[in-house]
Structure 1
Amino acid sequence: MGILNIRLAKRGESKAIIGIAGVSGSGKTYTALKIARGMVSKASEIGFLDTENKRGSLYADILDGEFMIGDLYPPFSPSRYRDAIKEFQEAGVKVLVIDSVSHEWEGEGGVDDIANIKMGKSNMPNWILAKREHKAFMNTLLQSTMNIICCLRAREKTDFKNPKEPVSLGIQPVCEKNFMFEMTASLLMENEGKTQKFLKIPEFLRSAFGTGSGYLGEATGKKIIDWINTGEKEDPVITKLKSEMLMACEFGLAGVIAIWNTLTPAQKKKLESHKNMCKESAEEYERQAKMADETPQDSIRNPDGQIAPVNLP
């Protein structure tokens, strides 16, 4: 048994993670909701994670029906974003709009704050802990069964490496430096949404996003979902279980077994190879946690407070 499930390559059903950044008033929220509407059969299949003090409710009537909304308040830690994503997934949402992801990076209780928590007598930033939290958030984002549209704030950025000759870097998204390139597609909204600067657009989605001139909307979302739907179909229940098992790997074998024990015999048969892959991944998480003097199993306990058994059948 290895760490991979090696098989013949097939065009599988994918999920799109899209990043839309822009300054205030650039139309990113409106555009995100319109794209999301084009990706679903009805508005109620859209979820909206609002970190902007209920501003998302201002857009409640722009679609042809009501969408699902949930408010996230400080602290904007990566772990709270992860929990919020999982809650929307459990609610059956097909496309999730997150407005805004920027809080995860520099909002109250976000990654920047975590890095600057004082540890003992040291005044040095703890970026090891902060980056670990961010990576866990990215893992949840990328392993979700939902299509996700991430809205991000943007602002003018200046390079002060030479204080005497600062260099303008132009409008930049407020996020971890690699975030926009982790997306399936990412762009910067300009001219109140009328034009876009593409940061990453794969060839297979160029027809969906166009040339960067003109508004994006439901037609964009329709083309994105049409591309997604050309892949080989999988039972959505199995897809969801695969996602949950992958997300549970960070908690060690206890996390995987907690899900495995809830499956039916038929589901276990379909997920046998996936279980073996998750087992290897979970064991590696445990190894790394041991190196860092952590015990990821502590997060998975039985109702009586005892750590769940960790031996996979």
Structure 2
Amino acid sequence: MAISVGISACVLGQKVRFDGGHKQNRFVVDELAKYVDFKPVCPEVGIGMPVPRPAIQLLQLSDGSERLVASRDKSIDYTESMESFAHQHIPAFDSLCGYIVCAKSPTCGMERVKLYIENGNTVPGGSVGVYTRELMQRMPWLPVEEDGRLQDPVLRENFVFRIYALNDFYQSLREHRSIHAFIEFHSRYKLVLMAHSPAAYKALGRMVASIKDWDLDEFYLEYRQQFMDAIKNRASRSNKTNVLMHLQGYFKRSLTKGQKQELAALIMSYREGNQPILAPLALIQHYLKEYPDPYLQLQTFLNPYPEELKLRYGL
């Protein structure tokens, strides 16, 4: 089954923007759409605004509150309508594994959205779109990313990985919660956690070790949040090098001295930035076929998403 991902309708190519245009993202349409089932939403159209329509903006009042208003006539206020739309629709997103929003939008922007004050100046740092703020507050575990930030290969890879990880979590645990199922899931992601957050790796390990003391429904919610928070951290080259060296250790009795030296040299070349991570991983995958190890074969770190997405090429 395709993975369900929410998306700002304009990013998918629908002509719903205030000027009648769109902001179609080529990676989204040409690559990611092959693997996910997009659920397009335009909150502005959703509250009854026409296409095209007058521009809107975020306005900070003297008391610090923020309002969503018409740019030319600030007495026209859409805040309550937008918040009501979000409150009504977000509960239906429970099955989503990610959400792509439109950057800079006063409704959908995830960060640094222009925030005006009454004299026409802007507040440094900006704000968050009204709809996306509600989305992130109500579903803090959900991977959310802006279309523009998907141009960054590191952010793109991390976002897509989180989508696949959350989908795996749901497929493994949503309908069949058991101590065994939680332990199996956690075991598959040990190397992932080691790469993304050594601190979370230890904390979640302790949490799983004490699972018998938990109500499983409460454990499900708490583990989901902590796990998704952990993998949101970008895996550093140093941490990934440590994981590669950890993987190397599983073959110490199988490889010849020359093979060990070759793999160690590739890992160090990656650490120094001279090779993409695919180089040592390809050799590790080769050795894993020759010398199978049940634990390693289940590790998500080795195959986190379809290789056809080519997300690790520049990492």
TM-score higher than 0.5? no
Is the radius of gyration larger for structure 1 or structure 2?
Answer: 2
Instruction: Give the TM-score taking structure 2 as reference length.
Output: 0.31
Query: Going by fraction, where is helix more abundant, 1 or 2?
Result: 2
Instruction: Give the TM-score taking structure 1 as reference length.
Output: 0.31
Larger RCO, structure (CA 8 Å, separation 6 or more) = 1
Query: Going by fraction, where is strand more abundant, 1 or 2?
Result: 1
